[in-house]
Amino acid sequence: MTEQKVISFETIRVACKNCTLSTLCLPMGLTTEDVERLDDIVRRSKPLHRGDYLFRSGETFRSLYVVKTGSVKTYAPSEEGGEQVLGFHLPGEIIGLDAIETEVHACSARVLETSAICELPFSRLEQLTATIPSLQHQMYRLLSKEIGHDTEMLLLLGKKNAEERLAAFLISMSRRLHQRGLSPTDFHLSMSRHEIGNYLGLAVETVSRLFTRFHEEGLLKVDRKHVQLLDPAGIEAILGQSLADDHRARSS
């Protein structure tokens, strides 16, 4: 409170040696001291590999997780091995927010490819946010953002047809990868067709057929898990058909 030495965006990037913390502290005025305190509670583990769990359904909630590199899927397992994929999480995105309330993980999280993950013990994070108002604000924003994202998915599953769903999925991946400095038109899907279908509420076969159709229509090139968007505008146009433009969540 005494020396409110606000540091710049670039300083933060440097202070947060990896991209982990940028999720939390990007748009704020944090003192260097604050950033250090935040950095202190972050646990960095060695890289995880495909199939490794961050946590499983039923386990006690202790930490939030931030994807540094790689990708993670969260899913709600049901008896008999059936499951509902809830989300795919890319670098910079945070996992576990839904378990704060009950203090028990309702879903499981496993990495889709070799990934670096940071762990944020929640109780310590909570202590920290109580003493750093701008960090508290950022936590509220993160939680709120998750709600906004879920809302979009509700709209997608409730109102859109198969074609629109896959288009939305591709555009979402494109934007999120672009945000992290990766190519928005040329990327690798770390999840299987099966998982995509499960996520979008579609059968595997439908997903496959749609990829083929998009390919035939010249919207994209697809080879196994490698995707190139040839006509991003055309894909976005598919979204606009049912619901015209949505001028929403536009966070740096």
Q: Put the strands of the sheet holding 226-229 in their side by side order.
A: 186-188, 226-229, 220-223
Distance, in Å, from the CA atom of 91 to the CA atom of 165, rounded to the nearest integer, reads 22
Q: Which residue type occupies 147? A: I
Ranges assigned E (strand) in 103-158: 108-111, 116-121
Distance, in Å, from the CA atom of 250 to the CA atom of 51, rounded to the nearest integer, reads 32
Site for its own copies in 103-162 (CB under 8 A): 106-107, 126, 129-130, 133, 136-137, 139-148, 150-151, 153-155, 157-159
Q: How far is the CB of 140 from its own copies (least distance, A)?
A: 5
Binding site for DNA (CB under 7 A): 161-163, 192-194, 197, 201-209, 211-212, 222, 224-225, 247-249, 252
Distance, in Å, from the CA atom of 232 to the CA atom of 220, rounded to the nearest integer, reads 8
Q: Please identify, among the stretches 7-15, 93-101, 113-121, 176-184, the one whose residues bind its own copies according to the rule CB under 8 A.
A: 93-101
Residue of 19, 21, 86, 227 interacting with its own copies (CB under 8 A):
86
Q: Is 82 helix (H, G, I), strand (E, B) or coil?
A: coil
Say if CB 123 and CB 112 are below 8 A apart.
no
Which is closer to its own copies, CB of 130 or CB of 237? 130
Q: Which parts of this chain interact with its own copies (CB under 8 A)?
A: 75-76, 78-86, 97-102, 106-107, 126, 129-130, 133, 136-137, 139-148, 150-151, 153-155, 157-159, 192, 194-195, 197-201, 203-204, 243-246, 248-252
